Amino acid sequence: MAATVTGARVLEGKKPTTVSATVTVPATSPLWGLSIATTVNPPGTPNPTKASSPAQPAATKITPRPVIRYAAAVLTGQDDVLASIAPCFDSDSARIKKQRLKDKEDSWVLESSEFARCTTGNEVLAVADDIVSRIHQILALYCNFSPVLSVDCISWTNAEGESLRTIRGSFSVNVTSSKGLAELKSASGTQPLGSAVFEAMTRGVEVNEALTLHGDSGLSWSQVYDMIDLVGSVKGIVKAGYATRKQANAVRQTANHYRHQGSKKNPTLPANPPTLAQANEFARGVLKRWIASCL
């Protein structure tokens, strides 16, 4: 069985994301996996326009939705690793154990009292993903683990006693910026800007250290703060004309506040603190202009 996802849109400037689709089948179904096929619009094809909202019906009496009798999230991961961490999570809030499921015997599952507030398999799936994320945070702190498990599907029983299975298929979308690609293709002397920056990284330590600090994903508040200092702090940024003092101060002060969270003398936030996304955009813009001055 295949599911086709159409009309998926990803905005530029966002982190890589995952597009997913789910389907709920009877527990007796042989279906355990979901494959997603995606078709990219050919160049020049307009994006579909959003349909107008249908007329809203007159207000009706709201009746309580049925509850789920039971739900368990079927987990995937290395069997011996799951066996080693299962004894660490054995409470009503999060219990990892082995359970025999039809056509998929001795599966590792996650049970949680938090599933009781859900009414559909999709809702359980979202809650299970959040619980697994919290488990990963604990494992990272105490065991230095990277993510070791994920939710494969949800086995659940609805209010009528019907046994169902909600399965998910997904694929990763690598988000690119057309503006950024155009910038890297533009000429810097006799070569593309991308090549010029790469060569600058190999010639000296300054550009290499700056890009190493930036890394290959989104910036944390600590990285934003360090990057501002690396390119000359607020004074250097203003002197070079990369931004105004007000802009630079607001970002640096906000970054300083969040990187000291938990401290008794946590620096205060500015009047209108930027979001982390806005601080990322500011720091990257400043860094690109600083790198251009090094070429």
Q: Give the residue-averaged pLDDT of 15-40.
A: 64
Binned at pLDDT 50, 70 and 90, residue 103 comes out as low
Average pLDDT of the residues in 32-55: 52
**What average pLDDT does the chain have?**
81
CA-to-CA separations, 78 to 90, 101, 150, in angstroms, rounded? 19, 18, 10
- CA–centroid distance for 236 within its chain: 33
27-36, 152-161, 180-189, 233-242: which range is least confident on average?
Answer: 27-36
Q: How far is CA 61 from the centre of its chain?
A: 38
Contact 115, 127 (CB under 8 A): yes
Instruction: Give the pLDDT band (50/70/90) at residue 33.
Output: low
pLDDT: which is higher, 130 or 264: 130
At residue 216, the pLDDT reads 79
CA–CA separation, 281 vs 251, rounded Å? 10
Q: Where are the domains of the chain?
A: 2-39+65-173, 178-294
pLDDT at 10: 44
pLDDT grade for 13, boundaries at 50, 70 and 90: very low
pLDDT confidence of 289, banded at 50, 70, 90? Answer: very high
Residue 82 or residue 65, greater confidence: 82
Q: What mean pLDDT is predicted for residues 249-255?
A: 95
**pLDDT confidence of 253, banded at 50, 70, 90?**
very high
**12 pLDDT above the threshold of 60:** no
pTM across the whole model: 0.61
Residue 225 has pLDDT above 90, yes or no: yes
Q: How far is CA 244 from the centre of its chain?
A: 32
Question: Distance between CA 287 and CA 38 in Å, rounded?
Answer: 36
Q: Terminal CA-to-CA distance of the chain, rounded, Å?
A: 53
- Can you tell me the distance from the alpha carbon of 30 to that of 28, in angstroms, rounded to the nearest whole number? 6
pLDDT at 181 > cutoff 60? yes
Report whether pLDDT(36) > 70. no
Looking at residues 104-123, what average pLDDT do you find?
A: 89
Name the more confident of 197 and 64.
197
In the structure, what pLDDT confidence band is assigned to residue 143 with cuts at 50, 70 and 90?
Answer: confident
Residue 267: band (very low, low, confident or very high) from pLDDT cuts 50, 70, 90: confident
Under 8 Å between Cβ of 122 and 166: yes
Distance of alpha carbon 213 from alpha carbon 205, whole angstroms = 12
